[in-house]
Amino acid sequence: MENRNNITEFILLGLSQQKEVEILCFLLFLLCYIAILAGNLLIMISITCSQLINQPMYFFLSFLSLSDLCYTSTVIPKLIIDLLEEKKTISYNGCMTQLFTMHFFGGIEVFILTGMAYDRYVAICKPLHYTVIMGRRRCDAMIAASCAGGFLHSFGQFLLAVFLPYCGPNEIDHYFCDVYPLLKLACTDTSRIGLLVIANSGVMGLVTFGVLLISYTVILYTIRSYPKENRNKALSTCSSHITVVVFFFAPLLFIYIRPATTLPEDKVFALFYTIVAPMLNPLIYTLRNMEMNSAINKLYHKKLY
């Protein structure tokens, strides 16, 4: 592999070439990353230190927060540091590592969101069998399957990129290493590789998004006959999950479902699933959730007194 490459490092062009814009982005993304760390750690600790960990919905939510932390930490720290650097470089090995870890934790998040949708489907459509179907062993198995699915997805992306020959130039028009920008730098025909990327990332995202839409359509149809109070509670829970799904999947599908090309808008859309969605997840799941608010308050008073 190495004898086919003349590249030992890549230059990341980043979000902007203007220093004033970069300083503004540095301050903004630093605050966003602090919010992501604080919000997701708060959710994880509040759930783990309370009885909510025994409920499948919150069990999945704690792992979603963990995957958010790992996922964003593969991209944002490097982005923040690069915004203060004159020359933004990343080694070849560092680039491939970032590509693998980002898709690994991103894939886990996609499958956990699917698992959460299944949990809501069982809770609303089959309430009498909920405790039997969503036992702890099944929840553990779903988390293990999410990790396995994320690994297979990321390993596929990694193989597509790592065996390509890179002869120069070495400038990546992005703020992190991803498959499509790397395909532009490969000194070989990448049309077939591009189709494999679409099959891996695009089709996986589209199928998962379709499954999520179908599950929530069935849920909304089912709760029509519920009493108003129960219907409002179900809608409140599902609306939080739907909001997270839309914020995460919409920009993801925009980038990966089309042919293997890069557009200037890609960097802006990538900000939604690498920064915006992970930052909003804690707010979405806590602001309208009385059980989460209660767990956070109990944790706060326990530490205070």
Q: Is residue 230 part of a domain?
A: yes
Instruction: Evaluate the omega torsion of the peptide bond into residue 77 and state whether it is cis, within 30 degrees of 0.
Output: no
Kindly report which listed range (28-42, 154-168, 192-206) carries the lowest average pLDDT score. 192-206
pTM of the model: 0.88
Q: Which helix (H) or strand (E) holds 293?
A: helix 290-304
| 249: containing domain | 9-304
Q: What is the mean pLDDT of residues 131-140?
A: 91
Q: Kindly tell me if the per-residue pLDDT of 200 is higher than 60.
A: yes
Neighbours of 123 (CB within 10 A): 20
Q: Is residue 2 part of a domain?
A: no
Query: In the chain, how many domains are there?
Result: 1
Q: Is residue 128 part of a domain?
A: yes
pLDDT at 98: 94
Q: Is residue 1 part of a domain?
A: no
Q: Give the whole-angstrom CA distance, residue 213 versus residue 248.
A: 14
pLDDT one-digit tens code per residue, 160-179 = 888 888 887 888 888 899 88
Mean pLDDT value across the chain: 85
pLDDT tier for residue 72 given thresholds of 50, 70 and 90: very high
pLDDT at 217: 85
pLDDT at 1: 41
Q: What are phi and psi of 206, to 5 degrees?
A: -65, -45
SS3 of 61-114: HHHHHHHHHHHHHCCHHHHHHHCCCCCCEEEHHHHHHHHHHHHHHHHHHHHHHH
pLDDT one-digit tens code per residue, 244-285 = 888 888 888 888 887 767 777 788 888 888 898 888 888 887
SS3 50: coil
Q: Is residue 4 part of a domain?
A: no
| CATH code, 162 | 1.20.1070.10
Residue 279 identity:
M
* 32 CB burial (10 A radius; 0-12, 13-18, 19+): buried
CA distances (Å), origin 147, targets 98, 105, 115, 116, 117: 17, 8, 12, 15, 17
Order of all β-strands in the sheet with 171-172 = 89-91, 9-12, 171-172
pLDDT at 304: 53
* Residue given tokens 């808008």 in the structure block: 265
Instruction: Give percent of the chain with pLDDT exceeding 90.
Output: 29
Yes or no: say if 49 and 265 are a contact pair by the CB < 8 Å rule: no
Q: Is residue 48 part of a domain?
A: yes
